Amino acid sequence: MTPSARLSAAIDILADIIARRRPAGDAIKDWGLSHRFAGSGDRAALSGLIFDALRRRASCAHVMGSEEPRALLLGMLATVRGLDVDAIAKLCDGARFAPAPLSEDERTRLASPSLEGAAPWVRGDYPQWLDGELKAMFGEERVAEAEALAARAPVDMRVNTLKAKPEEALAELAHLHPEPGQWSPLALRIPLGADGKQPPITSEPAFVKGGVEVQDEGSQIAAILAAPMPGSQVLDLCAGAGGKTLELAALMDNKGQLYAHDSDVRRLKPIHERLQRAGVRNVQIRAPRGTADVLSDLEGHMDLVLVDAPCTGTGTWRRNPDAKWRVRPGALAERTAEQAKILEQAVRYVKPGGRLAYVTCSLLNSENAGQIRALLEKHPDFSVVPSTEAVLALGSRGLALRQAALDLPEGLMLTPRRTGTDGFFISVLKRAA
């Protein structure tokens, strides 16, 4: 496909995404299935165009004075990719498979794209209804925080210490030019190029053999700060596909007992193959079975309960830019109610002197610090482990992380702007002995 044809296709796919409010990945996949002539390079290029436009949807619409898919993509080419009017006009020459020529208004706007006088949610590219929530969290820095959330995310990997050492994985993946993580001693990072194309990590021998897993460095930090000890009893209450379960098992050196549970058995489906590939042997999967209480025997016995809570996912917008335009106020209310219920359940399993780690990939106070304050009011036998103590699990890097992160009384907030990770809230609590 020519660059012009790719741009035309991207406009059509983006129109489908907006009209049907569907995930961008699904729309791109469906387009690929019905356009078999498009190669992997074409699909990657289309994904890059569409996701870049979605990252900057509000600001591109402001620049172009329109929210139409064509306007969003043209605005993105000027503001994100830095193309001048002539370069954009060359793509839109009206030839076969190319977009229609630029109008005079489009030319004028593309010649001098500006966000001067734009509202915070436009400059930060986030839904207007979230402005109050983000202002409460970040104040006048919310635009800068949101701009970092609108940038492309690198590819982060975690070295699985059950099968490899960081230096071994670094050498095996040298052709991809990975860099050691800044905070997690297990992290490797691959920055993306200008085209945003991601390397096929899951095809790499290091991944196939279980030596590395794809996992954001912030997610890795959350599991490390939870500090699971070898030989201990640990419950991963919202295990899902098992990303943090795998890391907990490695941190425990396959010693002790780790229970993986999720309220939705469908989310647990990938965990079986992942555990086998990673060489994990100390995990017992407790899948839900009708109305049976499959965790009743664990009450009051766990040294650590990890709650990787379902949330709005506002901290992952770098990786899921389409999701931020689909989230609605009703979803936030549903999530906070669900989180409170899960936390109340989690308390049952923590033994005296045990710990509860609460983690979200959200930046919103109501899903994070607000939930911890509510839990402490109901359960005064719990207290927050001070961040000065919690970060010691990272060794010398921990103190630097604490300075970089937003240090709240209820826990640590990681953000792309502050720590270069996805947005994560991490709170570790201890129950009185």
Binding residues for S-adenosyl-L-methionine, as ranges, are 262, 308
Phi-psi map region of 61: left, alpha, beta (phi>0 left; psi -120 to 50 alpha): alpha
DSSP 15-72: HHHHHHT--HHHHHHHHHHH-TT--HHHHHHHHHHHHHHHHTHHHHHHHHT--SHHHH
Residue 188: enclosing H or E segment and its boundaries? strand 187-190
3-class SS of residue 272: helix
**Distance between CA 385 and CA 217 in Å, rounded?**
22
361 is catalytic: yes
3-class SS of residue 129: helix
Q: CA-based Rg of the chain, rounded to a whole angstrom?
A: 23
The one catalytic residue in 60, 92, 311, 361 is 361
**Distance between CA 428 and CA 433 in Å, rounded?**
16
Identify the residue whose tokens are 């017992």: 284
Token pair of 378 as six digits: 């109901």
3-class SS of residue 249: helix
3-class SS of residue 257: strand
Partner residues linked to 430 by β-bridges:
355, 383
Residue pair 102/88 in contact (Cβ under 8 Å)? The answer is yes
**Distance between CA 308 and CA 421 in Å, rounded?**
17
Token pair of 168 as six digits: 């071994």
The catalytic site residues sit at 361
